[in-house]
Amino acid sequence: MATDEPTKQKLWGGRFTGKTDPLMHAFNQSLSYDKRMHDADIRGSIAYAKSLCLSGLLTKEEEQKMIDGLQRVGQEWKDGVFVIKEDDEDIHTANERRLSELIGPLGGKLHTGRSRNDQVATDMRLWLLDQVGELEHALKSVIGVIVERADKEKDILMPGYTHLQRAQPIRWSHLILFHAFSLHADLQRLQQLIPRISVLPLGSGPLAGNPFLVDRDFLAKELGFQSVAENSMWGVADRDFIAEFLMWSSLCMVHLSKLAEDLIIYSTSEFGFITLSDAYSTGSSVMPQKKNPDSLELLRGKTGRVFGDMSGFLMTLKGLPSTYNKDLQEDKEPLFDAVDTIGASLRIAEGVFSTLKVNAEKMKSALTMDMLATELAEYLVRKGMPFRETHHVSGRAVALAESLQVPISELTLEQYKKLCPLFEEDVVGVFDFEASVERRAAIGGPSLQMIERQVSVLRKELNQ
């Protein structure tokens, strides 16, 4: 039986004489999905070649030849002409195999002192750092669209809800800035992840470190890492940065889902507060009058998908022995899926928000006088009565108006005085929605001044 050519041997094949079951090869391979890390793998390998030269394991000429070869491999991926071979298990195997085809036996020196364990951990961190940068930009774009919309539409009043019941009048801008601040907190959390992702594993070997004294500080600087993994076992086995990113993704998707739910409700015929653009809506196959908010429903639905990525991966991590185990190959698909899903979701959210139409008159017509019952209680507070007592008086006024089937604004001064002698003719000033909103001018409130403050705060944060 003919033996495989050296270039076709698996990286781990030295002590194995039997052939791998084709099903096992398919079960074991990850190239079908980890090939998207081809650029990170090339970058890491170029940096490692430089470190081998610094350690005296490559001549300057060999270093340059190896770097040229790696750049050619990288270009093949970019041009879409890289040819995957049957025995390529993963992106690392494929790249090294192709490098050896291009530059000969010298390609075999690249793996000196390096393991796929520290190589894949490095690739994952490099790749994720790139994605975090893109997600940071996408988050800022969504927040920016909301902030600019809030600034332009701050004169629009609408009901604010608790328990989906009309509660108090607010500004439309106040509502959407609520979502903007939730996403801003996600932006902060994403930025806080970066130092824990930006830790260099390369130079940790399979688990016990590198025997050739490669300069890991040099590697970190070359690849743009903020720090070096101080423990080689931790360096190859740690995937907490992926778990933490998946946790972040789940929370950010929850915020997008809540935003979507508000817009879904407000776009219904029953509310009619907003109208979605045709670009982010679909129709019914049966009912031609329907305009479905599928973009928002998918945002809501994909939240469960991303949470599933997180919970599934945590179960993979649970109970793993030290250090590297093949179970860790299961880190890539949930991470890739979460990155793709949240990236697309942020772009859809931005598109929906930048194109929807606000129906200001529908919002205004939904304001009802009973929403000013709290204002009535606060009126009496200003007259010197304790709030707990004013609350009861206001409640009796609401009950009286309901029994007479009139708004509380149509109760007479005499009727009000029977409820409490502190009521005066100026009680009519309570029944003004704009005035009610403007009275709430403490930091965080919906008054015009406070809306402008919130807009200013977020603009400043986005520009930093």
265, amino acid identity: I
The question of whether 163 is a catalytic residue gets the answer: yes
Closest of 294, 196, 323 to residue 247, by C-alpha: 196
Cβ of 416: how many Cβ atoms within 10 Å? 22
Of 32, 277, 284, 456, the active-site residue reads 284
Q: How far, in Å, CA of 8 to CA of 228, rounded? A: 34
Q: Is 284 among the catalytic positions?
A: yes
Beta bridge partner(s), residue 357: 275
CB atoms within 10 A of CB 153: 15
Q: How far is CA 339 from CA 59, 119, 226, in A?
A: 40, 21, 22
3-state secondary structure 53-76: HHCCCCCHHHHHHHHHHHHHHHHH
Q: Give the whole-angstrom CA distance, residue 299 versus residue 307.
A: 13
Return d(Cα 92, Cα 72) in angstroms, integer.
Answer: 15
Q: Which candidate, 101, 104, 102, places its Cα nearest to that of 87?
A: 101
Closest by CA to 316, choosing from 232, 252, 246, is: 246
Amino acid, res. 454: Q
The candidate with the shortest Cα–Cα distance to 170, out of 439, 452, 410, is 439
Q: Which of 14, 5, 8, 24 is nearest to 86 (CA)?
A: 8
Query: Closest Cα partner for 158 from 76, 248, 265?
Result: 265
CB 182 within 8 A of CB 389: no
The token duo for 309 is: 């990525």
Q: Could you tell me which of 150, 156, 108 has the C-alpha nearest to residue 451?
A: 150
What residues contact 269, with CB distance under 8 A and at least 6 apart? none
Catalytic residues: 163, 284
